Every structure is written in structure tokens, then in C-alpha cells.
Amino acid sequence: MHPPEIRDRAIAMHAEGVPFRLIWQTLNLSPHTVGNWLYGERARRRRERIPDARCPRCADPPRLPEAPATYAYLLGQYLGDGHIVRSQRTVLLAVYCDNKYPGIIAEIEAAMRACGARSVHHRARIGCTAVSALWKHWPCLLPQHGPGIKHARPIALADWQEPIVDAHAEAFVRGLIHSDGCRFTNRVVVSGRTYEYPRYMFTNESTDIMRLCSRSLDRLGIEWRMSRRNTLSVAKRTSVARLDEFVGPKS
């Protein structure tokens, strides 16, 4: 018997489009074993096991996600630097995170689990880790999924998402800044004394995502300005202090 993590890994690679031969070679398994996992009887049953009680949106009537703040965080992460890849049989949600931030990597994993993922995988990329989970209901929870890159298509919240993002603006902004933002310190030396000015930045090519970010900041009373076409900056001391309450330096 192989541990279930190995089987999940094979299914995840398959969903990512890794060629069959490469999957069994990489995992050092027989093609027969991997073929069974991907195409066998259990795989068929796995596909046909509907409805999936874990998906709040497929419930009748649809429910809201059970952990709304965590959901708002995951939505922010997804809109920042997340990807949804559909294969014939399942859907992969992947969020990329710099290896410098193990705390954020753990938070993404916890959020995926809280929102319905059964198992979460970490895959090393150059300088970063892809945190990913297979679940065909990710597009139900993240209906912003669509063909092409995010900034080339309109991004709007679904009616049921709006109140969650409004009620959990802090978690949503935390997710956005953890993915596509940063906190940095400007140091200025005047007459031998060093003054430090912490700031926040959020960079995103999508004007729709930028609007969602600024709307949440407005709601939280945080002042911001666009320092560049694609970059929002928070520099006012009281606003930086407010962000520090629920974002802080990445770690």
C-alpha cells in the first residue's frame, strides 16, 4: 500500500497536466499503480460522488462558507497571486508564495483546508512554493475564475461574496497584501539621526482587483493613494498603524 499523500500527489500532477510517464517516473511507482489511481474504478467513483457536501455553494439551498473571515483571506490570496487550473476530472487551486515567508505558506494551507480542501500540497518552484489543493468545487467558491489572465478580464464579486468581503475587510486586505503587497521601511538620515517610515504597497495589474482593494481600505478608514498606475500605497502614519494591527511585516 502506498500512503494516500503519494496518490494525491499523482492526481495533483495529473491535474496540472504533467505527462503520465513523468508522473510514475518522478514518484518512482509502476505505471500500473498510477494508471489505476488516475483512471481506475475508484477514480470513477471519486468523480461521480455527488453532491459534495463540503461545497457550501452546491448545497440546496446554497450556504455561505462556514469560516467567512478565512474565506475572505483565501479570496484575497487568490485574487492576488492564485491560479485555478481545470483538468478533465478535477480542479487545482494553486497559490504561489515566496519561500521567505513560511508563516504565510502555513496560513494559505490552513485557509484552503478551512474552506474545504482535503489535502494540501507544497511544491517547490524556483524561490517559491506552490501551495495547492485539488477540489472540483474551487470554481464554486472562487467564481472569479475564468479563461486567461486576471487583468485581461473583468473581476467582479458575486452577490453572495459582497457581504463577506465587506464584513471581513481586514482578512480580505490581509490576503491581498500577503500575495501582491508588502510592508517596507523608508529610512531617512537627518543630522545623524535616522528616521524610519514604514509603508505598505499593493501592486496588481487588474484595475478591478485594485478597486476591490481600495474599496475595502476605504471601509476600514485607511488612507491610500495610487503611487503608480498599478501600485497603491499607504504612507500616512495612522493608516500604516491601522494596517499593522492586522497585516504587519510578512513572515
Footprint of Zn ion (CB under 5 A): 55, 57-58, 137, 140
- What span, in angstroms and rounded, lies between the C-alpha atoms of 178 and 105? 10
Q: Which three cell numbers stand for residue 250?
A: 510578512
8: exposed, middle or buried (C-beta count within 10 Å: 0-12, 13-18, 19+)? Answer: middle
Q: How far is the CB of 183 from Zn ion (least distance, A)?
A: 35
State how beta strands 91-98 and 82-86 pair: antiparallel
Q: Helices 169-180 and 68-81, interaxial angle, to 10°? A: 30
For residues 159 and 146, what is the distance between their CA atoms, to the nearest angstrom?
17
Is the distance from CB of 184 to CB of 196 less than 8 angstroms?
A: no
Q: For residues 61 and 127, which CB has a smaller minimum distance to Zn ion in the complex?
A: 61
As measured in angstroms, the least distance from the Cβ of 140 to Zn ion is: 3
* Residue number with CB closer to Zn ion (91 or 201): 91
Whole-number Å distance between alpha carbons of 16 and 121: 12
- Site of grid cell 496560513: 107
Nearer to Zn ion by C-beta: 29 or 58?
Answer: 58
Residue 74 or 97 having the CB closest to Zn ion: 74
Rounded CA separation 71/114 (Å): 8
28 vs 88, beta carbon nearer Zn ion: 88
CB of 109 to Zn ion, least distance (A): 21
Closest separation between CB of residue 114 and Zn ion, Å? 16
Choose between 12 and 140: whose C-beta lies nearer to Zn ion.
140
Distance between CA 193 and CA 186 in Å, rounded?
14
User: What whole-number distance in Å separates Cα of residue 213 and Cα of residue 17?
Assistant: 33
Q: Which is nearer to Zn ion, 82 or 181 (CB)?
A: 82
CB of 115 to Zn ion, least distance (A): 11
Min dist CB 50 to Zn ion, Å, is 9
Least distance to Zn ion, CB of residue 65, Å: 11
Rounded Cα distance, 50 and 142, in Å: 19
